Amino acid sequence: MTKFRELCGTLALLALLFAPGQVPAADATVEIRSAIAAQRALPRAPQLPRTAFLEGRGLAAVQLSPTGDYVAYLREQGESRSLFLLPTAGGKPRVLVARTEAEQLFWSHDGRWLFLRAPKSLASVSVDGRAGVRVPMGGAERRRAMKIDPSQPAAVLLRERVSAGKSERWRIVRMDVRGKRGVLREDPRWVHDVALDARGRIVALARFEGDHDALHRVLPDGSLREVLRLAPMERLNLLAAMPDGSLLLEGNPGSEVPANNFRRVLRLTPGDTLQTLHEDPRHEADLDEVVLDPRTAQPLAASYRSTVAATYGIGAAAPIVAAIERRFPGRDIAVQAGSAASSPWLVSERASTLRDPRWHLFDPRSGKHRRILDEAAITAHSPQESQLARKLAVSYLASDGLRVHGFLLLPPGVDPARAPLIAHVHGGPINHFRPGFDGVAQFLANRGYVVFQSNFRGSTGHGRAYTFASNGDYGNGRVQRDIVEGVRWLLAQGIGDKDRVGIVGHSFGGYSALLGLTFQPELFKVGVAGAPPADLGWGMRWLVAAGEQGDLPDRSLKHTLAALSLDATDPATYARLHAQSPQVNASMMQRPLLIMAGGADRTVAIREVTHYVAALKAQGSPVTLLVEPGGGHSPAAPIPREAYLFAMETMLQRHLGGPVPEPAGPRLRDYLRENLRAAGPEFRALARKPAR
């Protein structure tokens, strides 16, 4: 109990220390020293097996039925999944589908059917186990499930491509659980969202207009009236059409006005005036999730997860959500509600120290809750919370005065002043770190590394202005300086050993790792780069022309890149990014480097990676290359994922210290022996011996 109080005190102190504007600068050093002393006094966490940090081992999806009678969930069962149904009133779960490749599930509006979405198919099944329809997804028609049809008892809305000579059109189709189809609209533009009235008529749609997105009202004769024209990086989703003709939305339209900078819950009045129903009270985070009442479609709760996770009730639901928050203090909660006043709410409890969410049924009338889905078969192998590092929201001032956000993980029982420090850079760059569990970061913290995650300018999650604050400076410029200055700020606060600093990341994060070793070798002593573009200008040009996103039906990627000054088809932009690229500056790379890539990656071309590695090898720079044959942008299978962690800890341990890695088992050794295409001194014992 004493240790627990010390931990709580430390976390409270650190939360105060790093909250913007709450600690005077003159007192920061004293507060940090106190925090370090308390942290050092905690027991050291045991070294956990690598497999403990591989996410996605329990439940793939959990959904409360609209009536509140059942919880449906997809449970991992070896190489496939099974669909279970749990009565909320009590009793044991039963299997609805023994084997499925589904990754997501959706309830029909009447709560009697489930739609199961797999990578290449959509299927329906009733709550009594009767099979419905199964239709292929993707293919030449590029068929995709859009959303559940709220106007019908049991139907889904599909979007399909229709060939029209050398051109194409897009069809919105209603399909019920038996496969009966009805075309609601055919449009020459790619429609990414629709709203239906109670009669099942499309009354609004959002579509790509060739160089921008726009929201239209659909008039009774089928013609369109544009009501909102969206600027680049503005997004909106249609949540519901209300009986009075208003539309419920979420997004950031009109964000060029500072007051509209963040994603929020919105109402478009019948007169087409935008009203904000809810936004982050702290004015620092975009809306992450909004929950609707399944009966009235009114918003019940809004969640924000870019800094400190917080969920707020809206309207009459505010006291219910507040009661749930009190039940789970300091947790990231998400809720699902049933349609009746007597229906229980499904609550998910998440935290940076919970690899797998915990699930509860909450009675909004009594305030009581009970945990569900906690049987050993689901929760097995999940690390104990005391063995993981808390993720703390931090912020710091960049040299030009912009406040930059991020997260910090301090390993329990480790003196942060003497520990190696790892800059962990997110991918994208149109992405951001969140406060929840992060397998790679927790793995590193468990090995004794302090982990710093910067949501540098250009990241999402903090408003459109924050994303555009990068001004396209993604080479050895302002974006990279945000990361470097964050590391130096931590070192100045006595967090991290300045002589043992590394940088790791995947995709854009891997590119940042290459930049760090190339241009800041005095700071970063070692790097690990997953699927890194070695020349961002070339990589962006290839991605638009031939990569996975090059044939997106909305064709918006090139417009987004142009708005962010990353349009590599522009000669000046390409020349700037090319000149600052690790590829062009390969002669400056002398720090030890590990690169991991997928042989069939359609986001970062494998030939870009191998060309860079060849240049390093030719000049004698220390580099290791591990390639997953046929692998995509990120490893998905268990052995390649474990190899990713093993190679990372091997590299960091050799150059920054830390515990000796857990030995590789036979399957992992065989995988490494087959797929190490270039082996630096750290991996020569594991590489295939050259034939004589």
Q: Give dist(CA 628, CA 671) in Å, integer.
A: 9
pLDDT at residue 13, as a whole number:
33
Q: Which residues are bridge partners to 595 per DSSP?
A: 529, 625
| Phi/psi of residue 91, nearest 5 degrees | 110, 175
Query: Are residues 509 and 473 in contact, defined by beta-carbon separation less than 8 angstroms?
Result: no
Token pair 């990086």 in the structure block, residue:
233
Q: What pLDDT, on a 0 to 100 scale, did the predictor assign at position 543?
A: 86
Residue 26 DSSP one-character state: G
- pLDDT reported for residue 29: 52
Query: How does DSSP classify residue 303?
Result: E
The DSSP H or E segment spanning 403 is strand 403-409
Return the residue matching tokens 């049991």: 154
SS3 percent helix, strand, coil of the chain, rounded to 5, is: 25, 30, 45
What is the rounded CA–CA span in Å between residue 162 and residue 160? 6
Give CA–CA dist 28/45, Å, rounded. Answer: 27
- Quote the Cα angle for 245-248-250, to 5°: 155
Residue 313's nearest CA partner among 330, 333, 295 is 333
Which of helix, strand or coil describes residue 653? helix
CA distance linking residue 513 with residue 529, whole number of Å: 6
Residue appearing with tokens 């105060």: 16
440 near 453, Cβ under 8 Å? no
The residue assigned the tokens 């070339």 is: 538
Q: How far is CA 62 from CA 114, 127, 239, 341, 374, in A?
A: 12, 15, 20, 21, 13
Superfamily of domain 2-53+383-537+591-678: Alpha/Beta hydrolase fold, catalytic domain (3.40.50.1820)
Strands 155-164 and 181-187: unpaired
Nearest to 518 by CA among 584, 577, 457: 584
Contacts of 423 (CB under 8 A, 6+ apart): 452, 454, 483, 486, 487, 501, 502, 503, 504, 516, 524
The secondary element (H helix, E strand) that includes residue 656 is: helix 638-656
Predicted pLDDT at 558: 78
Residue 472, token pair as written in the block: 């396209």
Dist. CA 453–CA 433, nearest whole Å = 7
| Strand 131-136, strand 144-148: pairing | unpaired
CB 683 within 8 A of CB 624: yes
d(CA 253, CA 464): 10
Whether the pTM exceeds 0.85: the reply is: yes
At residue 662, the pLDDT reads 93
CA distance 396 to 20: 8
Question: Would you state the pLDDT for residue 550?
Answer: 58
Give residue 165's pLDDT: 78
Secondary structure string (H, E, C) spanning 305-353: CCCCCEEEECHHHHHHHHHHHHHCCCCEEEEECCCCCCCCEEEEEECCC
The residue ranges of the chain whose pLDDT is under 70 are 1-39, 55-57, 547-556, 689-692
- Kindly list the domain boundaries of the chain, sorted by start residue: 2-53+383-537+591-678, 538-580
Question: Which are the contacts of 18, defined by CB distance < 8 A and separation ≥ 6?
Answer: 392, 393, 394, 395, 408
Q: Is 284 exposed, middle or buried (0-12, 13-18, 19+ CB in 10 A)?
A: buried
Residue 638 CB partners (closer than 8 Å, separation 6+): 51, 54
Containing 32, the helix (H) or strand (E) segment is helix 28-40
What is the reported pLDDT for 32? 54
Give me the phi and psi of 639, to 5 degrees please: -65, -45
Place of tokens 């935008």: 274
In 68-154, which ranges are E strands?
70-77, 80-87, 94-100, 104-107, 113-118, 121-126, 131-136, 144-148
Residue 247: how many CA atoms within 13 Å on its side-chain side? 27
Omega within 30 of 0 (cis) for the link into 429? yes
CA 22 to mean position of chain CA atoms: 29
Query: What is the predicted pLDDT for the residue at 561?
Result: 84
CB 515 within 8 A of CB 579: no
Q: What pLDDT, on a 0 to 100 scale, did the predictor assign at position 94?
A: 95
Q: Give the C-alpha distances (Å, rounded to integers) separating 117 from 60, 98, 309, 356, 386.
A: 12, 15, 28, 22, 36
Whole-angstrom Cα distance, residue 634 to residue 508? 12
